[in-house]
Structure 1
Amino acid sequence: MEGENVVKLKDFLERHGARLGEKIEANLTPVYNPLRPEGVEEYGRKMVALLRKPFPVQAEVIKGISKALYQEGRRHLFVCGEMGTGKSLVSLATAANSPTMRVLVVCPTHLVEKWIREAQSTIPDVHTVDLTVKNVISVLHAFRYERSLPRTHEVHVISKEKAKLSYAWRAAALTTKRSLLPHCPHCGRIAMKDDEYLTFGEIGKRKTHCRVCNTPLWQADRTLRRFAPAEYIKKYLKGYYNMVIIDEIQDYKAEGTLQGRAMGALLGSSRFALCLTGTLNSGYSDDLFHLLFRMDPVRLKADGFNHEDANKFLSTYGTIETVRKLDEEDNVYGRGKKKAEMVRRRPGVSPVAVGKYLLDKTVFIRLADVIDGLPPYEENVLSYTMDKGQAEAYGDLQQQLKRAVTAHKTKALGAMLQALLSYPDSCVQFPENISIRDRRADEVLEVIEAPILTLAPGELLPKEKDFIGIVKKEREEGRKVLCYLTFTNSRDIRPRLKHILEDEKIRVGVLEPSVPPKRREEWVRKHTPGFDVLLTNAELVKTGLDLYDYPTICSFQTGYNIFTLRQAARRSWRIGQTEPVRVYFAIYRGTMQEMALSLVAKKLEVALMVEGELPEGLADYASSGGSIMQELGKALIEGGDYTGAEKAWANFRKKEIEAQLGVRGTENIFYEKKTGSSSRTTVQGNVTIKVSFIDGKKKSRSVVEINAADLDTVAAGRKVQLALF
């Protein structure tokens, strides 16, 4: 919609941002205002004793959280911070601001040792305990009868997988001489659901009760004796832990999962809780519902919601799409109409929900707030033209899959997209063989194949050639390279890539899934001195790990999981990194790889909006509202305007930088990195931007440094990559 009365949200905020800010300050009373610090002097004195000193912004956040928890009665809080902002330091320092307390940390398995190490390097004289052990229930049972008060701060760490797992169960019913159907052991009636008889196979898949007397038709399986630690703590150790810290809280958003139940049990058994996340919301309002219900059930119940009302919450504070189909059909006795209705959830969170349920219990931290502790960061999209044979084989496969999607709709769509994403890289090792099945009829509808291509001895694919050059250049500068590969199961190209690199006298390591999650960080730290390049799947290292030794990251293969891409790309750009971080995304032009990366860039622009950064407005939100898989399928059939990944990624980075520069009518405070020292600088459109122009097959590159205010003028009509300094 265009017109004289239409104003972009960015322009509106630039014009009226100062007045809006004044209104907000006049009508909202923050728990803690760093400009007028009151009641936090004690916390400031305690932080002096920490073994690791927080950055100034982190220190203010710690004071605010401490005041909210210990003085204002805010028992449960979210800490939402971008990757690398130091959420673990903030939470541990907050715990240290109280009198001696016992803290339980729940985290992914591969982060258990990291949390123990962080606690030991942050809190003086802390006592740490690893509860991710086989006999954890025996240890908790000993705690139950000990019940001693801690003499110093204690931090106990357990993995979320260990905390949730309970005993196994099996069906428990009787048979008779006259019937092989399951009978209730109490009343003897045959097990039924509504008017249908149940079999032993059916009651063995889902816990069932007798329809007559409500007796459980299941019992504990004594072959595996186990008790969920979270349930044990709730039942026998309520109050034993003064605080629970739950890391990666976004993994607990579902309703009936074991992890979700474990979260509820632990929140109910401790006085204080800090829930940490880098991505609190994926864009759908109902993702928040169960987290909020476990955090603050009283408020949601007062508003008329119970624990089963996720759809009601979605319809109230989210977006629902209703699709109605009306088909005419010929019946034997006349002509009739058949109606079909499908309801789908769509991205969108009402600002009312954010203001009503999140603002009073959430602390937000951005990398821009702690930018003085970070080195320069740049991202580059490297596009390659496929060789003739490679392009012909890919084009034939794409046409076959396009016809298949048109004929069979979304059957095997996921397998098709994975084939198109991986084939340009794996075509010299693996053929493609995709079977499209009708699940109801158990019938193969079509089989689509693509051949293995043969290369001459010593011949390499374009992406492989350039990757060798990148690695050699980085090695000359004393930098190690972390290489991500996505399809490491049935289309694993790691052995070929390792062989190619080793032929060039490059030392290569491979992080396998067989390395236990709890030992991955230790494995990387132990073996890194012997590597120039580390090959791994991004899923293995996407959360929590600090890979400082690999300042250069190359996504050799890129999928379409936004969360994985965003987390993995910044594994080494974290507080503590001293080297400039370079990230490369390698794709082939005119392929599904380019479409996927372009779509991810568009989705990341929307993610900026969901997280409160509105550099352009909400117009793009609706245009990028579907899932990436749906839009890739649409692009496969219709073509779509998803080419030009360099331009799409440059647009996203431009908007990300603009968001960091701010959209208010007042100045922003940044920490600008200078040679030899870091100084606090006030800037308004005066941040240094490094602009890289990449042209031609040989990737000729010219670099200039400009002011942010001159960005649009320099970038006009050209494809650029940006880095904020």
Structure 2
Amino acid sequence: MIEINTGISGGKKYHQSGEGEAYRKAQLTHVARDGTERWVLWSGAGPTNVGTRSSERESIDWIEAENEAIRLSAQHDAQDLTAYIELYGEALAGKIRSDFKPLHDVERDEVIETDLVRKPFPAQAHVITAAVKAWNAGITPWITADMGTGKTLMGIAAVHTHAKGRPYRAIAMVPPHLPEKWKREIEGTVDGAEVFIVRRYSDLVFMQKMRSKPVGPEWYVISQSTAKLGNPVIPRVQWGRIAGPSRGTRKYQIVKGVEVGRCVRCHGVQFDGRDTRGNKKLLAREKGEKKLLKCHDCHEPMYQQIAKTDRFPVAKYIAKKMPATFDYFVLDEMHESKGASSQIAKSMSQIHVSCKYSVGLTGTLLGGYAQNVMSLLWRLGGARSMVSHGEIYGNEGEFSKRYGRTETKVATTTIGRREQVKTSSKVKPGIMPTLYGKHLISRCITLELHQLSDHLPPYRETTAEGIAMQPDVLQAYTDICDAVAENIGTLMRHPDRSARSAIARLIYASLYYPDHPYGWGEIGYYETALNGNREWRSVITPPDLATEDARPKEEAFVDYLESEVNRGRQCWAFCEMTGTKDVQERLSSLIRERGLTTAILRSKEVPTTKREAWIAENGAKSDIIISNPTLVKTGLELFAPGKHNFSTIAWYQTGYSVYTLRQASRRSWRIGQTEDCEVKFFAYEDSLQNDVIRLIGQKLQTSQAIEGRASGNGLSSLTDTTDSIEVELAKVLAQRRIASLDLAK
């Protein structure tokens, strides 16, 4: 019940409640001859007259109603965005409809009819129509659609529909393992289309020389690696021995007969760090012949390119020799071009400026950071929007401050009478909603899988519960976590950038030791001393436990896979430990002991261009396939009607990447799938593995919310996301260490 205070002011009765913005007051100002009362109402911190009431009872009812509205609003605002939308959705929608008119209204506008061989579903047809209208309005559209919604089809159809039957020439830049798939998709979608796969720049020379116009639909498919091809670069350091007498200074010494590396331009002697006494160390030949360095004195690059004509960058050739040859540019998996200085991003930009119309396709536009889209906005059609809002090209820090989250630390040091102030800033995960409102809403066309639910089977994600470590593993794991936690605090305060990689290595050991409790050796990290030298810091040497018996998580994992196969379902298993400490072979052995067939997809054995063919060959004869999720996260489908269908995906281990988890988990839940799709995550209870799954879930809600999905965390998921997952795990370890010490006391 709301407390309402009653008093007398100037001989007039009043009622009031609340403070600040929640302040509400009603005061009696006049009583007529017939006894009718006139009460004046105020709200907020100041005496703002909001109306009158004719009786004391109505005034009290008004105060109670206003306070109840405030309470409900605050409750919903504090909970999540979903509740807020449920409460105020209609009012917000009405305001948006009155202030903004979309280029394409799904409820009002008709779709543009097409003459495609494969007819798109109604939801896809609306996306295609919206993209065409965006081009007509001078906007470069970004199709940000869920994995499995048919982005390839929509990209192809948008181009063909916009051409309106006119001959055209289009180029698609796709991941390295997808050119053949794109060729099939285009040929199966556009009647009479000619499709060419560009493997080197010479494949385009004939067309550039002929300067012929297209006579029908012409498509050129180029992989990301082909687009960014370039001549190899080798070190260029001049080596020789000192012929003259030894000489030196207080900083370094050059001894007669010692081999030194020199700059080919200024002939300055090159150094590499300092020794324990603080003296400069000469550059070692082993490092000088492997690393690409610059001269310490004149800053001349000490490397050179080797000319190989067959490796000339195709994107650069298109920009220089064929600037008006292509009408359309389709960028598949556009989020892979987000790097500000990556060669893929530069290649994408070169092709984009050479074409009249461009469209980007992605299922994971954001990965939790505002800077993920900054480079894309500048390079793929958003430069005008960036300039109009005062953005400066290359100013990543300012962009993150405005649309993301940054942490600024100010350290003050007093030395005698002097006071030194040092300020440091770092970018943290988090996205402000204004990023969507200012830069993305005008170009993003979103489509979610549930909008195609009539054409999709059920999808379910679950987490295995109750998997406990065996006592010997638990004891070793606890010791590792305690030892790592003791070092985490120092590393997180360390000014050297190598501290971040040291944290990652220690967290990796803490995270995955229970899955591979042997063969770790000494765990530690290199620390850079004040004199520039790297010194080894030992943290712990965990025990090598028995390898003969299956551990609880392995048993639970294999039990689940066996039960799925017994149901007539094929399974795909994802593992992160696929390098020096490889768990794939051990899992495969345990699976084969159950009488099941299995295969392992390895990156070193199967190049990206041959993975689709490998899956087609091994899918039909395998109950279970094991791989790292990064090998199949984009473009590849894990089912082929009548051949194979990996409708169950099991995560033995998860990494830190939201991009990878989102992409890989949806490889089977796509248009054309007929079986229910299940995804299951496995982790030891009360371990960092469980914490990783929780943290990835939070990052997932962040990226989905800004892409148009109202997540359970709402606005807090956009603006209150904290550090990277490695740092979050470091904090978890530190907090548990403190709690255990307090408990011991």
Q: How big is the shift at 1:512?
A: 0.9
Give the aligned partner of residue 63 of structure 1.
129
Equivalent of residue 391 in structure 2, options 305, 308, 312: 305
SS at match of 2:441: helix
Tell me if 1:232 matches 2:296: no
Q: 2 CA distance for matches of 1:216 and 1:438?
A: 28
Tell me if 1:316 matches 2:402: yes
SS at match of 1:588: coil
Q: Give the counterpart letter for 2:216 in structure 1.
A: T
Tell me if 1:437 matches 2:551: no
**1:421–1:559 contact (8 Å) kept in structure 2:** no
Equivalent positions of 1:610-689 (< 5 A) are 610-614=706-710, 615-639=712-736
Equivalent positions of 1:486-497 (< 5 A) are 486-497=576-587
Equivalent of residue 52 in structure 1, options 96, 110, 118: 118
Give the aligned partner of residue 251 of structure 2.
none
Equivalent of residue 529 in structure 1, options 620, 624, 637: 620
Equivalent of residue 29 in structure 1, options 86, 96, 101: 101
Give the aligned partner of residue 545 of structure 2.
453
Q: How big is the shift at 1:220?
A: 4.0
Q: Give the counterpart letter for 1:82 in structure 2.
A: D
Give the aligned partner of residue 72 of structure 1.
137
Q: How big is the shift at 1:520?
A: 0.5
Tell me if 1:222 matches 2:304: no
SS at match of 2:442: helix
Q: How big is the shift at 1:312?
A: 2.9
Give the aligned partner of residue 434 of structure 2.
352
Q: Give the counterpart letter for 2:535 in structure 1.
A: E
SS at match of 2:230: coil
Equivalent of residue 447 in structure 2, options 351, 362, 365: 365
Equivalent of residue 282 in structure 1, options 348, 363, 367: 367
**1:50–1:124 contact (8 Å) kept in structure 2:** yes
Tell me if 1:419 matches 2:509: yes
Q: How big is the shift at 1:203?
A: 14
Give the aligned partner of residue 117 of structure 1.
184
Q: 2 CA distance for matches of 1:209 and 1:421?
A: 40
Equivalent of residue 205 in structure 1, options 292, 299, 312: 292
1:92–1:35 Cα change, 3 Å: same
Give the aligned partner of residue 480 of structure 2.
397
Give the aligned partner of residue 252 of structure 1.
337
Give the aligned partner of residue 560 of structure 1.
656
Q: 1 CA distance for matches of 2:107 and 2:432?
A: 30
Q: 1 CA distance for matches of 2:296 and 2:205?
A: 31
Q: How far does the alpha carbon of each residue in 1:503-557 deviate from its partner, in whole angstroms, 9 at most, with x for none?
A: 2211011101120101111110111111011011111111111112100111011
Larger radius of gyration: 2
Q: Give the counterpart letter for 2:516 in structure 1.
A: S
1:444–1:126 Cα change, 3 Å: same
SS at match of 2:727: helix
**2:292–2:303 contact (8 Å) kept in structure 1:** no
Give the aligned partner of residue 169 of structure 2.
102
Equivalent of residue 572 in structure 1, options 630, 652, 668: 668
Q: How far does the alpha carbon of each residue in 1:177-210 deviate from its partner, in whole angstroms, 9 at most, with x for none?
A: 99985465xxx99899xxx9x9996998368999
Tell me if 1:325 matches 2:416: no
Q: Say what the alpha-carbon RMSD is for the aligned residues.
A: 3.3
Equivalent positions of 1:678-717 (< 5 A) are none
1:210–1:432 Cα change, 3 Å: closer
Q: How big is the shift at 1:408?
A: 4.6
Tell me if 1:604 matches 2:700: yes
Q: 1 CA distance for matches of 2:706 and 2:230?
A: 36
Q: Give the counterpart letter for 1:541 in structure 2.
A: V
**1:104–1:157 contact (8 Å) kept in structure 2:** yes
Give the aligned partner of residue 126 of structure 1.
193
Q: Give the counterpart letter for 2:127 in structure 1.
A: V
Q: 2 CA distance for matches of 1:173 and 1:560?
A: 39
Q: How big is the shift at 1:377?
A: 0.9
Q: How big is the shift at 1:68?
A: 2.4
1:354–1:438 Cα change, 3 Å: same
Q: How big is the shift at 1:304?
A: 3.8
SS at match of 1:431: coil
Give the aligned partner of residue 257 of structure 2.
none
**2:156–2:186 contact (8 Å) kept in structure 1:** yes
Q: 2 CA distance for matches of 1:12 and 1:632?
A: 31
Give the aligned partner of residue 683 of structure 1.
none
Give the aligned partner of residue 47 of structure 2.
none
Give the aligned partner of residue 677 of structure 1.
none
Q: How far does the alpha carbon of each residue in 1:152-171 deviate from its partner, in whole angstroms, 9 at most, with x for none?
A: 21221111111012223567
1:470–1:189 Cα change, 3 Å: closer
**1:423–1:432 contact (8 Å) kept in structure 2:** no
Q: How far does the alpha carbon of each residue in 1:237-274 deviate from its partner, in whole angstroms, 9 at most, with x for none?
A: 11211111111111112222211211111111001111
SS at match of 2:460: strand
1:72–1:390 Cα change, 3 Å: same
1:532–1:640 Cα change, 3 Å: farther
SS at match of 1:286: helix
Q: 2 CA distance for matches of 1:446 and 1:216?
A: 37
Tell me if 1:590 matches 2:654: no
SS at match of 1:266: helix
Q: Give the counterpart letter for 1:569 in structure 2.
A: S
Q: 2 CA distance for matches of 1:170 and 1:509?
A: 39
* TM, length-normalised to structure 2: 0.76
Q: 1 CA distance for matches of 2:537 and 2:582?
A: 27
Equivalent of residue 342 in structure 1, options 401, 424, 437: 424
Give the aligned partner of residue 17 of structure 2.
none
| Higher mean displacement: 399-408 or 150-159 | 399-408
Give the aligned partner of residue 56 of structure 2.
none
Q: Give the counterpart letter for 2:181 in structure 1.
A: K
Q: How big is the shift at 1:424?
A: 1.1
Q: Give the counterpart letter for 1:402 in structure 2.
A: A
**2:561–2:571 contact (8 Å) kept in structure 1:** yes
Q: How far does the alpha carbon of each residue in 1:542-581 deviate from its partner, in whole angstroms, 9 at most, with x for none?
A: 1111112100111011222222122111111111111001
Give the aligned partner of residue 479 of structure 1.
569
Q: Give the counterpart letter for 2:92 in structure 1.
A: L
SS at match of 1:360: coil
1:296–1:616 Cα change, 3 Å: closer
**2:144–2:447 contact (8 Å) kept in structure 1:** yes
- Number of aligned positions between the proteins: 615
1:347–1:416 Cα change, 3 Å: closer
**1:283–1:348 contact (8 Å) kept in structure 2:** yes
**Structure 1 residues without counterparts, runs of 5 or longer:** 643-725
Give the aligned partner of residue 554 of structure 2.
464
**1:167–1:221 contact (8 Å) kept in structure 2:** yes
1:630–1:215 Cα change, 3 Å: closer
Q: 2 CA distance for matches of 1:584 and 1:216?
A: 50
Q: Give the counterpart letter for 1:25 in structure 2.
A: R
SS at match of 2:524: strand
